[in-house]
Structure 1
Amino acid sequence: MSIIYLLIVLIQITTAVPNSIEKSADYTSTMPGSTKEISDEWQSFTITAYCGCEKCCGKNDRITATGAYAIEGVTIAVDPAVIPYGSLVDIEGIGTFIAEDCGGAIKGNKIDIYFERHEDALRFGVWEDWRVRIRE
């Protein structure tokens, strides 16, 4: 793994994580640019996967809707009307990701996880009714 790759990951993570105080379990807020209320409650989503190939993304390669470089283990595609860009998103049993991208098929309670390789995205498949928590 190159030092440049690690620096890109570190920069994206540190710029996406807000400096905020601890919140209570019933905390809610509205993210800037969104009318959707954000909560620490777990919600049900369908989880799928994609990669940066032309079949998955057209000619956009690995540049996300927010202009960030898509990184496996960090980037997810969301419906920004449901999950605002820049939100930290916990996907139960998988990890925490940053909402950085969108897609034509990503509508409502659906999330697409970014993978480097097309084969890995296909192997991931579709996970229905999966628990997700949206954080600031």
Structure 2
Amino acid sequence: MMKRILASVLAMLLALSSFAGLQAEAATKKNVKSSVNSLVVRQKATTSSKKLGLLYKNQTLPYKAKTGNWYKVSYKGKTAYLSARYSKVVKSSSSKKQSSSGWKTLTNVSATAYTPYDPGSGNLTAIGWNIKSSKKKVVAVDPRVIPLRSTVKVYYKGKLKGTYTAADTGGAIKGKKLDILYYSRSEAFSWGRRNVTVKFK
């Protein structure tokens, strides 16, 4: 009888230990961070492979594995590769840390508009959100100015226009520019191009 009790207790302790290990692994994930101003995201682990996009300095992508001199990462929901020479693996906690500096402000920002239906828009944003299946409030930014995944407040003529997530990028979005996502072509056309004030963190 005593042996059965001890065996049951031991089995329970082993189960709890395994569960705690899984929780710890889930809480701390690995990312790959760019060490240079702009790092090419490749389709395959070779410099001759198709270019999928750019990862700017200190930005990260989810780590999958290391293959030779390349890191396998997740990019827009697909497998991609980053040169290990110009990037490094870092740990990231599942809980977000809020910046102690608070909101940062940019004035005289040129704000344009786009829709998911524009030629070349695609289904996925730079951080992998499907903007055609869910109507998220998104702005496209230059990640060197406003980091991706930042919360962005846009003010026009002193009034708050809306609060968005910096979830996308664009070839023409360089410097103090942003592109506001609309789900109506008429609203996007009506907005046109305006100078706004932006707060982000």
When normalised by structure 2's length, the TM-score is: 0.45
Number of residue pairs matched? 100
Structure 2: unaligned runs, 5 residues or longer: 1-94
Question: Within 1, Cα distance between the matches of 2:110 and 2:148?
Answer: 18
- Kindly provide the amino acid, as one letter, of the partner of residue 46 in structure 1: S
Question: Within 2, Cα distance between the matches of 1:59 and 1:89?
Answer: 21
Q: 1:106-125 alignment to 2 at 5 Å?
A: 106-125=173-192
Question: Within 2, Cα distance between the matches of 1:66 and 1:41?
Answer: 21
Aligned-residue sequence identity (percent) comes to 32
Q: What stretches of structure 1 move > 2 A for 4+ residues in a row?
A: 17-21, 70-73
Question: Within 2, Cα distance between the matches of 1:78 and 1:115?
Answer: 15
For each residue in 1:98-121, what CA deviation from the matched residue of structure 2 results, as whole angstroms up to 9, or x when unmatched?
A: 000011111101110101122221
Q: 1:94 aligns with which of 134, 158, 161?
A: 161
Alignment root-mean-square deviation, CA: 2.2
Question: Within 1, Cα distance between the matches of 2:121 and 2:154?
Answer: 28
For each residue in 1:63-103, what CA deviation from the matched residue of structure 2 results, as whole angstroms up to 9, or x when unmatched?
A: 11111122556111001111111000111221211000011
| Change over 3 Å in CA distance of 1:65–1:126 after alignment to 2 | same
Answer 1 or 2: higher relative contact order, Cα 8 Å, separation at least 6.
1
- Asked if 2 retains the 8 angstrom alpha-carbon contact of 1:51 and 1:116, the reply is yes
When normalised by structure 1's length, the TM-score is: 0.64
| Change over 3 Å in CA distance of 1:18–1:97 after alignment to 2 | farther
Question: Within 2, Cα distance between the matches of 1:84 and 1:52?
Answer: 21
Partner of 2:200: 134
Say if 2:113 is the partner of 1:49: yes
Q: 1:7-86 alignment to 2 at 5 Å?
A: 18=96, 20=98, 23=100, 27=101, 40-44=103-107, 45-55=109-119, 58=120, 60=122, 62-70=123-131, 72=135, 74-86=137-149
| Change over 3 Å in CA distance of 1:91–1:73 after alignment to 2 | farther
Q: CA deviation at 1:41?
A: 3.4
- Asked if 2 retains the 8 angstrom alpha-carbon contact of 1:77 and 1:102, the reply is yes
Q: CA deviation at 1:43?
A: 1.1
- Asked if 2 retains the 8 angstrom alpha-carbon contact of 1:73 and 1:115, the reply is no
Q: CA deviation at 1:131?
A: 0.9
Secondary structure, counterpart of 2:145 in structure 1: coil
Question: Within 2, Cα distance between the matches of 1:84 and 1:107?
Answer: 13
* Bigger share in strand: 2
